[in-house]
Structure 1
Amino acid sequence: YSPTWKKQDDNFNRFRSQLTSRCDGFHKAIISQANTPLGTRLIYDGEKKKSIQINKDLFNTFLKGNPFSNKSLDTCAVVGNGGILANSSCGEAIDSAQFVIRCNLPPLENDYRKHVGNRTDIVTANPSIFMEKYGGLMGRRRPFVESLNVYGNSMLLIPAFSYGHNTPLSMRAFYSIEDFRSPIRPIFFNPEYLQKLAMFWRSQGLRAVRLSTGLIMASLALEVCNNVHLFGFWPFSNHPYGLAPLMNHYYDDRQTKKKFHAMPGVVHLHLGQCPPPKRPLKPFNAINPLTPTD
């Protein structure tokens, strides 16, 4: 991990070109009224024998256009929830990125802010969270909506069309947010994009049954950002420096499936503590960044 990380422009441009030609996440990762017209039949990416036809009610929940600007973003921080972020002092570095992506509704308040920041442009939410924490939104919905306040007016990205049971849950989340006039903006993954992205990674040798949220968001960031920085991605139980034991997440030790995906010289994976950035991330040189190898 000791060499200073250096972006390899040829690798970056080649990888981005492959992703764009195979997946086109810039235009197709998020469902919109432009890329998914009324009457479209969507095939669930997790249940390929199941589909849903887009009626007027569903269509009206979609974005009218592309959530990304026509111009590539300069710097993006994709923030995982790994225990390596605990006591990292990376909050300021994360918040200095032009665009910040977070995964699975992580806690940002109180003591966490110094280490993980609080700026958010996109935060993902697995519908299983709506079941586990909020009773499937079948009862009181205010606690769910109020829990989103920490993310401000960011986009809330939900895989509403990955499995059939996700759709009604996701619609209840959408309408709860609308009813309580929350500033957060629900958007939905396009299952066609997720299928194409899974095929792309299989062609790269990845044999996972399902892509992790972190890998999906890092892949999307590579298409929409010129410099991609990863924080909170370290799939081992010990810190790379000093070998201190780590919790699975920076906020708890709940175990999940662990995978590691290498993109040498393409994404900047930050490890160790982060010094205060002297300027916004372009590029930001963290202490002891990692250049993965195949």
Structure 2
Amino acid sequence: MRKQLSMMANLLCLGCLLSAFIWYTFEESLEFHRPLPQRSASKPSELCKGCKEAIDKVKKLYNQTWKKQEENYHRFRLQLNINCNGSNNGIITQENTPVGSKIVCDKDRTVIPVTPVLFKAFIKENPFSKKRWDTCSVVGSGGILTNSGCGKIIDSADFVFRCNLPPLENEFKNDVGIKTNLVTANPTIFINKYGSLTGRRRPFADSLHQYGNSLLLFPCFSFGFSRGVCQRAVYAIEDMKIPIQPIFLNPLYLERLVKFWKSQGLKEYRPSTGLYITSLALELCETVHLYGFWPFSNHPDRLFPLTNHYYDNVPYNARVHSMPNEFYHWVQLHNKGVLKLHLGDCKSGQV
């Protein structure tokens, strides 16, 4: 009997150690590490299907010598402001969404009543009202940023937008910078990476420290199921006293934005994070610089392979987003002098 109890105790201890090891391994796996870069030219057989033709088309369209065209810029900015008005209506606030009102999700049309609990999570006033910046960097997460050396020039802007909680520290800092004034967080990140925030929230909270006291923009009201996980994210930020400021994207703004871009010839199911952030930046900033926007899996110069993101190779959902079509619109706006699209390495001056 004593021998059996001893064996059970040993098994129990072994189980505890195994559980601890699994959890430690899981937490370690949450860290991002840059995929190994490949800078040599690709053979024709290694290029993605249709990429050579598409890249050649972009290089013919893309104007290397860029100059801001004030008339084109102000015309496009006015169109955005009239049709979308992101500078005033892009964010849900306690001023524009009072207790007792209803939020209609822009995709599945779920109606969400604004309760006192939900209302408390809204920022009191619009952080963009009557504010403008001279220069803004909008930083995508494309693999084109790998070894680009663009970190310092990105950080030199007055306001820096970033997409979907990207890693900035350690080996990434030189290429993407670290300054952040606004960073977005898609609810699917909370679901897929942080287990819907139903368990331990420390890894999520720790990941936010690199963004300092920036604005954290949630597009939480496109689908009804997103509300719960977004509220848990807000609770985690409050409970752990993270200095970041959560704000919610207004679904009415997204609806208007989709209609506007359809009128510009962009017909897709859902705008990407880069699309709505760049649109917002064009209303708020005098000069907008885009970095990390490149939808192809080969570099524009020597055609060597690129990972989808500078920190991983997870593909985007092509059934939902149309990245090449969005990108061609950025090229057109670049050529018109409305914004500056950076496709080269900053360290070599090819920006």
TM-score, length basis structure 1:
0.92
Does residue 28 of structure 1 match 2:89?
yes
Structure 1 window deviating more from structure 2 (25-34 vs 251-260): it is: 251-260
Aligned partners of 1:177 and 1:184 also within 8 Å = yes
What is the alpha-carbon distance in structure 2 between the residues aligned to residue 208 and residue 108 of structure 1?
30
- Letter of the structure 2 residue corresponding to residue 23 of structure 1: C
Q: Using the alignment, how far apart are the partners of 1:67 and 1:138 within structure 2?
A: 30
CA displacement at 1:255 relative to structure 2: 1.1
Q: Residues 72-87 of structure 1: matches in 2 within 5 Å?
A: 72-87=132-147
What SS does the aligned partner of 2:274 have? helix
| Cα distance in 2 between the residues matched to 1:71 and 1:160 | 24
Letter of the 1:228 partner, please give it. V
**Aligned with 2:300 (options 240, 245, 251):** 240
- In the alignment, the residues of structure 2 paired with residue 133 and residue 7 of structure 1 have an alpha-carbon distance, to the nearest angstrom, of 40
Q: 2:291 aligns with which of 222, 231, 244?
A: 231
Tell whether 2:326 aligns with 1:266.
no
Once the two structures are superposed, residues 106-151 of structure 1 have per-residue CA deviations (whole angstroms, 9 ceiling, x without a partner) of 1111110000000101110011111111111111111111111111
Structure 2 unaligned residues grouped into runs of 5+: 1-61
Shift of 1:92: 0.2
Residues 1:174 and 2:234 are matched in the alignment: yes
1:98 aligns with 158
Q: Displacement of 1:2 after TM fit?
A: 5.6
CA distance in 2, matches of 1:71, 1:129: 30
1:170-214 deviation digits (Å, cap 9, x = unpaired): 000000110111111111000010111011111111111000000
8 Å contact kept, 2:88–2:129: no
Which blocks of at least 5 consecutive residues in structure 1 are unaligned? 276-285, 290-294
Give 1:3 deviation, angstroms. 3.1
Query: For residues 205-224 of structure 1, what are the structure 2 equivalents within 5 Å?
Result: 205-224=265-284
CA contact 1:122–1:157 (8 Å) conserved in 2: yes
SS at match of 2:92: coil
4+ residue segments displaced more than 2 Å: 286-289
Aligned twin of 1:14:
75
Q: State the Cα distance separating 1:271 from its structure 2 match.
A: 1.4
Q: Report what 1:142 is aligned to.
A: 202
Structure 2 Cα separation of the partners of residues 56 and 71 of structure 1: 29
Deviates more, 1:252-261 or 1:215-224: 252-261
State the shift of 1:241 in Å: 1.3
Q: Rg larger in 1 or in 2?
A: 2
Q: Which amino acid aligns with 1:96?
A: S
Contact preservation (8 Å) 1:2, 1:288: no
Q: Deviations over 1:16-37 (max 9, x none)?
A: 0000001110011111111212
**Corresponding position of 2:255:** 195
Please state which structure has a larger fraction of its residues in helix: 2
Return the letter of the residue paired with 1:16. R
Cα separation, 2, equivalents of 1:119 and 1:84: 19
Deviation at 1:287, TM superposition (A): 3.6
CA–CA separation in structure 1 for the residues paired with 2:138 and 2:238: 27
- Offset at 1:232? 0.1
Structure 1, residues 253-290: CA drift from partner, whole Å, max 9, x if none?
A: 11113332232321101111114xxxxxxxxxx9444x
- Of 112, 123, 132, 2:192 maps to 132
How many equivalent residue pairs? Answer: 278
Amino acid aligned to 2:120: N
| Alignment-derived partner of residue 181 in structure 2 | 121
**Aligned Cα root-mean-square deviation (Å):** 1.3
SS at match of 2:88: helix
